[in-house]
Amino acid sequence: MTDTAKPISAFPTKSFFVDMLVRDIPLEQAVLDLVDNCIDGAKRLKGEDNNDLSGLRVEIQFSDQLFSIKDNCGGFDTETAQLYAFRFGRPKGFNSTKHSIGQFGVGMKRALFKFGHKFMVQSRTADEQWAVEVDVPVWEADEDNWVFPWSTYQDGHEIGNMPGTYIEVSNLRKGTATSFGTKVFENRIISSIKSKHRQFISLGLEIFVNGNRVDAADLKFFSTASLKPVVENFVFDEDGLEPVTVRVVVGISDSIPKNAGWYVVCNGRVILDADRREETGWGVVEENADRPSLPSFHNQYSRFRGIVYFDSDDSSRVPWNTMKTDIDEDSLVWQRAYERMVVLARHVLDFINKLDSEIEDYGREKSPLMRLIRNAPKASVDSLKTDQAFKAPDKSSVDETPPTIKIQYSRPIEEIELLKEALRVDSARAVGERTFEIVLERNKG
């Protein structure tokens, strides 16, 4: 007879839980999550309003045998380790770092399980130190015990003997080991950190990957008295919730298709870069659209740059997904910002269309607008914080030259050679230009 008095167990097996936890996150993103935690430590140490992270450092090392990351960003105490750091998700009562980028409480654990089957985490503050070491298969075998055991703190992993955190993962998963052992993956990580953490690197944080220092990717706009990007600031405020400050900057830069599009930054962390999808307004079929839209992206818009910043003390308020790889389209904050992004972008795209039309009429070398852009200085997006309208030059502000059109035709080589000798020129192009001038002069008279 069935024992109906005994409760039905719905606990997940540990192996199932771990496999599901790591299944969908890319390896590259798992590394970035650990860097995010270092940056939150830097914010706690320096204060969220401090814009100087100089002296703080993150060092990442990986190979087909081992992964490690260490920082000198202040570490975290045993109480945080016991009650919060190793929990899957953020428990009630957790006092998170203001303006943090490690918001969801899964990044470190997900990365540890993603990388390998054995890990050690240790941290030291100014007052105490602790360590945790886990053999994952052994831990998984004990289905009823979800705690991680304390271990012995190991000296020698500090940066300059300063408080910080050290993480080491060994016995790597097969796929992880293969990726970690390639130069291609190393370059991808460097490129991702350069893009995703540009704001913190520009504030002085040093990040090294396998001994290589990562520099910040700079985002610049053409900015002159007659050509200015638009800057708009506003605050999204809801009763009882932390406000979200939004800054939108839209303008033009160098004609580089792979860099063109929208950049979305949440609490300093780049979520999208050079995005040209429908999610950011590009190519939505207007007759079927229930919101403003932009035309489909093509290389004519390779000068377009749009950057939108979302900042809040409560990181759950900024519109990112749990892996920080995309925006949350259901967020009211995102929906409000989206409308302004599209409206402001249209002014910039109108100017780009005008520039493209003028190049058609005058040629790239003789276009007055093109000459102005070619000689224009650039301003870093970090310096563009005060509200200003988009300003584009008109015909009265640039030197006007008559428009030109290219003439092309083909003739037999022997005839071209004959005219080269007769006209005393040394190229087929010169033959065409000289014969045009002769006929023009005859008809002018």
Which tens digits make up the pLDDT trace of 189-231?
A: 999 999 999 999 999 999 999 999 999 888 999 998 889 999 9
Place of tokens 């097996």: 13
* Distance of alpha carbon 273 from alpha carbon 264, whole angstroms: 7
Which of 224, 219, 217 has the alpha carbon at shortest distance from 377? 224
State the pLDDT confidence band at 291, using cuts at 50, 70 and 90: low
Which pTM does this prediction carry? 0.81
CA distance 87 to 439: 85
What's the pLDDT at 375?
A: 81
Mean pLDDT over 165-190 rounds to: 96
pLDDT for 350: 92
pLDDT at 411 over 60: yes
**Full set of structural domains in the chain with CATH:** 14-213 (3.30.565.10), 220-397 (3.30.230), 413-444 (no CATH)
pLDDT score for 369: 85
| The predicted structure's pLDDT at residue 215 | 93
- Which two three-digit tokens encode residue 345? 């972008």
Residue 184 CA to residue 114 CA, distance in Å, equals: 19
Which residues lie closer than 8 Å to 53 by C-beta, 6 or more apart? 42, 46, 200, 203, 204, 205
Q: How confident is the model at residue 310 (pLDDT cuts 50, 70, 90)?
A: very high
Dmax (CA) for the chain in angstroms is 116
Cα distance between residue 181 and residue 61, in whole Å? 11
Identify the pLDDT of residue 92.
61
Looking at residues 386-394, what average pLDDT do you find?
90
* Predicted pLDDT at 284: 73
Structure confidence at residue 180 (pLDDT): 97
Looking at residues 300-325, what average pLDDT do you find? 92
The reported pLDDT for the residue numbered 152 is 94
Confidence (pLDDT) at 372: 83
For residue 323, the model assigns a pLDDT of 82
State residue 223's pLDDT score. Answer: 92
Rg of the Cα atoms in the chain = 29
Q: How confident is the model at residue 306 (pLDDT cuts 50, 70, 90)?
A: very high
Among 180-189, 219-228, 269-278, 436-445, the least confident range: 436-445
Average pLDDT for residues 374-396, to the nearest whole number? 87
* Helices (H), ranges, 309-385: 332-362, 368-374
The predicted structure's pLDDT at residue 88: 67
Give residue 142's pLDDT band: very low, low, confident or very high (50, 70, 90): confident
Average pLDDT estimate for 177-200: 96
Nearest to 37 by CA among 80, 2, 5: 80
Q: Please say if the pLDDT value at position 301 is more than 80.
A: yes
- Across the chain, mean pLDDT equals 87
Cβ partners under 8 Å of residue 349, min gap 6:
294, 295, 301, 304
Q: Where does the pLDDT of residue 159 fall: very low under 50, low under 70, confident under 90, or very high at 90 and above?
A: very high
Q: What's the N-to-C CA distance of the chain in angstroms?
A: 116
Q: How large is the angle between the packed helices 107-115 and 14-23, nearest 10 degrees?
A: 100
CA distances from 434 to 73, 361, 403, 442 (A): 71, 22, 19, 13
